[in-house]
Amino acid sequence: MTKNITLGAITALLLGTTAAIAADLPMKAAPPPVQIYNWTGFYIGAAAGGSIGGSDHVDQATGFSDASGYNVKGGLIGGTVGYNWQMSNIVVGFEGDASWVAERGVIPDVGIVAQNDGFVDGTGQSRFSSFTNETWLATARGRVGYAVNNLLFYGTGGYAGAGVGQGIYDNAHNVLVSSSSTRSGWTAGGGLEWGFAPNWSAKFEWLYMKFNTVALNTAFAEGPRTVPFDDNVIRFGVNYRFGGPGPGVAKY
């Protein structure tokens, strides 16, 4: 019996000592909450970049090119407005933008007019050049994206409109004939947006645009031409989001 009493006392002493040591150990801190960026809200912004498109002057009667196709390129700067809704990781919204554009392409003619007597100079070069220029651009698009916290990967598409001119120069850069109009078309592309502050984000975006073809009535023997035009825009922008929920706290 004495042996049992002794063992009980030793056990109680050990358990008490262990509990005391455990009580003195520092408590492990809870992990900090994970901040989740929230994309919901109305926003405005500014964007700038460059564009390179393609155009041509095609003889309506023969269907052959008078310019063999050429690039139209330049820069642009403008503003953006939009709204996002975030549902879990999915972000949907709409966006509109308008930009001033300085985009131009010029190439010597190679068609029937260029080859006729009197239309080629002493070096064998055409006395005439075809040109296309873009002066403004606007789009109205839907956006669908996937958010990984403050990174948003998105696709976009919708309507595109542009102010486009086309015409013919002589070799002294005098405009012999020209026209301009608002062209309508469609656009599609995608981008990446980074929320670097609760209400601020920066984006990189690419858009392809296809516009309707217009006619250019020339004063030369070949008759009217058709002038197609498409464009590729690459731009960087900064957006500011108003109101809406702030960053949320994820559960853990």
Domains identified in the chain and CATH numbers: 35-244 (2.40.160.20)
Q: Kindly tell me if the per-residue pLDDT of 24 is higher than 70.
A: no
pLDDT at res. 167: 93
Q: Kindly tell me if the per-residue pLDDT of 12 is higher than 60.
A: no
Q: Are 242 and 41 in contact (CB under 8 A)?
A: yes
Q: Are 117 and 124 in contact (CB under 8 A)?
A: no
Identify the bridge partners of residue 160 per DSSP, sorted by sequence position. Answer: 139, 185
Phi then psi dihedrals of residue 76, to 5 deg: -150, 155
pLDDT at res. 211: 98
Per the listing, tokens 């670097």 go with: 196
Farthest-apart Cα atoms in the chain, separation:
132
Higher pLDDT, 53 or 222: 53
pLDDT at res. 250: 43
pLDDT tier at 169, thresholds 50, 70, 90: confident
pLDDT at res. 115: 53
pLDDT at res. 243: 74
pLDDT at res. 201: 97
- Cβ atoms within 10 A of the Cβ of 112, count? 17
pLDDT tier at 61, thresholds 50, 70, 90: confident
Q: Kindly tell me if the per-residue pLDDT of 225 is higher than 50.
A: yes
Q: Kindly tell me if the per-residue pLDDT of 156 is higher than 60.
A: yes
Q: Kindly tell me if the per-residue pLDDT of 35 is higher than 50.
A: yes
Q: Is 66 helix (H, G, I), strand (E, B) or coil?
A: coil
pLDDT at res. 3: 47
Q: Can you give the pTM of this predicted structure?
A: 0.80
Provide the mean pLDDT of the chain: 84
Higher pLDDT, 248 or 98: 98
Higher pLDDT, 123 or 224: 224
Span 185-209, average pLDDT: 97
Span 85-91, average pLDDT: 96
pLDDT at res. 234: 98
pLDDT at res. 150: 96
